Structure 1
């Protein structure tokens, strides 16, 4: 059976692994809306609310959440503070564009610069 200290070390390590998913200067303490307001350390693009109060206010106004209208044709919609209030993450879908609406090119054409969402490493 794990001791409290071992569980604490595991929890901290798991938290650091999550935070390391973005650059150190891109991390912050904040909150995001899941089924409720979840606060912790993470990427600025995901933890967009600076406080629990700000998150709760946004949760009350969830009907105004641009992602609730499902603007992304493919990919994942995330709320942003910049207009139009959302961003679509298209990586791994085979599509790109503001709403993940454009199919990635399948054949390399001389001089064509592939959108970063279409680059497979």
Structure 2
């Protein structure tokens, strides 16, 4: 780049009184909006559960879209450690066991089986009792 030429051009613009217009109007190829459509970058503040982690991270970031799900650390912690077994999603006396943000219903000795212990076990002597697909939760020992 020829700095002498740039200085000379600037001096000419200054003499003509157009330097303010030249500096105030950015050229299209100099400032590209990283956002899609008519979105604009904004400063977002908030908290989110860290990806693949068991903790909340809070902060401030400049981005096109809000990356934060929660406004405060308290909201984030409540979501992170929420009890999916309260109220109990299991039916018919099934016991709820929390596995992270998921749950599993323990249906043994209830007479029911299924994701929520909602299906009645087959009656003794039914054809399903002889099937390899017989539900494990329906096996009564003792």
* TM-score, normalised with respect to structure 1: 0.43
Task: Write 1 or 2 for the structure with the bigger share of helix.
Answer: 1
> TM-score under structure 2 normalisation?
0.37
Bigger radius of gyration: 2
